[in-house]
């Protein structure tokens, strides 16, 4: 027995893994196990205590969070369709904004496009209507010009109110001009130029005797002015289309409240 014990001790001494520096490879230290188990117990106790101390409102919120996440991840069909149309509108408007700045593909034509947009601005039309009204000597002409002035003022107020409500910005970060600030046309939706040219073209087609080529040119002018607002980067495509719709509705409103010749003469005499 003593000889066998001596041999086993010699074997243990010669084994490299029994050295002190290699003991951690054979078995984990008891201190580490105890510290890990104690930290686990403390964390589980803290979680249980927090769950007990949490009020009913917090529990409701924690139960609602997964449902809210599911609602965000699974939107309704209307939401998907609206977001898709909005993304298409923004993408197409940016592609058509070829004159948004000097570095754009059609940057050299920016001045000409700006000039085309001025033809649909409210200030030149109001000034021109007032000048024609002063120089007009016929009752029929004064009646048409007074109602045209009413339509222009109504257009500025309606578009300014709608833009203040929507507060939609254009596809490009372009500051409005001085004339835009005068007519309060500072936002994108709806396009003020588009509503104005639609209202004016419909007004002239109904109340002026024009040849067919002039009627076609009038419609083309309205379409070109609306397109110029997209090309210059001030409005989206839907802003221009909605402007055309609002312009037509404004024309119908002016037709409903059309001022007679006597009313126009009374207003001119007061003025």
> What are the tens digits of pLDDT across the range 198-234?
999 999 999 988 899 999 999 999 999 999 999 998 8
Q: Averaged over 227-252, what is the pLDDT?
A: 93
The burial class, CB within 10 Å (0-12 / 13-18 / 19+), for 146 is buried
Q: Residues 121, 193, 207, 236: which is the catalytic one?
A: 193
Peptide bond into 70 cis (omega under 30): no
pLDDT confidence bin for 15, thresholds 50/70/90: low
> Cβ neighbours of residue 39 under 8 Å, at least 6 residues apart?
none
3-state secondary structure 44-57: HHHHHHHHHHCCHH
30-48 tens-digit pLDDT: 444 454 555 555 545 544 4
pTM (2 decimals)?
0.69
Mean of the per-residue pLDDT values for the chain? Answer: 79
| Alpha-carbon dihedral sign for residues 15, 18, 19, 23 | positive
pLDDT at res. 148: 95
pLDDT confidence bin for 69, thresholds 50/70/90: very low
Cβ neighbours around 26 below 10 Å, total: 8
pLDDT at res. 154: 93
H/E stretch holding 179: helix 178-182
Q: Token pair for residue 56?
A: 């009913």
User: Does the active-site annotation cover 207?
Assistant: no
Domain boundaries, the chain: 107-270
Cβ neighbours around 39 below 10 Å, total: 10
Q: Averaged over 52-71, what is the pLDDT?
A: 48
Q: How far is CA 128 from CA 124, 163, 240, in A?
A: 6, 25, 24
Q: Averaged over 187-205, what is the pLDDT?
A: 93
CA dist 205 and 271 (Å) reads: 28
User: Does the active-site annotation cover 193?
Assistant: yes
Contact (Cβ atoms closer than 8 angstroms) between residue 128 and residue 196: no
82-105 tens-digit pLDDT: 788 888 888 888 888 888 777 777
Instruction: Quote the DSSP letter at residue 107.
Output: G
Q: How far is CA 114 from CA 89, 220, 240, 241, in A?
A: 22, 17, 16, 19
126-157 tens-digit pLDDT: 999 999 998 888 898 899 999 999 999 999 99
């Amino acid at each position: 027995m003593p000889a066998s014990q001596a041999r086993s001790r010699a074997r243990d001494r010669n084994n490299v893994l029994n050295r002190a520096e290699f003991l951690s490879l054979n078995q984990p230290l008891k201190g580490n196990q105890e510290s890990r188990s104690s930290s686990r117990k403390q964390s589980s106790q803290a979680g249980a205590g927090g769950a007990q101390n949490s009020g009913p409102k917090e529990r409701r919120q924690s139960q609602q969070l997964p449902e809210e996440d599911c609602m965000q991840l699974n939107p309704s069909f209307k939401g998907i369709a609206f977001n898709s149309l909005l993304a298409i509108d923004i993408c197409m408007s940016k592609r058509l904004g070829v004159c948004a700045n000097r570095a754009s593909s059609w940057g050299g034509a920016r001045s000409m496009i700006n000039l085309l947009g001025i033809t649909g601005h409210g200030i030149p039309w109001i000034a021109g209507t007032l000048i024609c009204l002063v120089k007009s000597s016929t009752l029929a002409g004064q009646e048409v010009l007074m109602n045209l002035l009413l339509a222009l003022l109504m257009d500025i107020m309606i578009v300014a109110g709608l833009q203040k409500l929507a507060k939609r910005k254009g596809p490009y970060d372009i500051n409005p001009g001085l004339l835009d600030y005068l007519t309060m046309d500072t936002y994108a939706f709806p396009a003020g130029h588009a509503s104005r040219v639609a209202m004016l073209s419909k007004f002239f087609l109904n109340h002026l005797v024009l040849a067919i080529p002039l009627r076609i040119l009038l419609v083309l002018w309205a379409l070109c002015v609306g397109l110029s607002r997209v090309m210059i980067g001030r409005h989206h495509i839907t802003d221009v289309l909605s402007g055309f719709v609002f312009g037509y509705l404004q024309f119908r409103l002016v037709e409903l409240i059309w001022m007679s010749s006597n009313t126009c003469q009374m207003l001119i005499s007061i003025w």
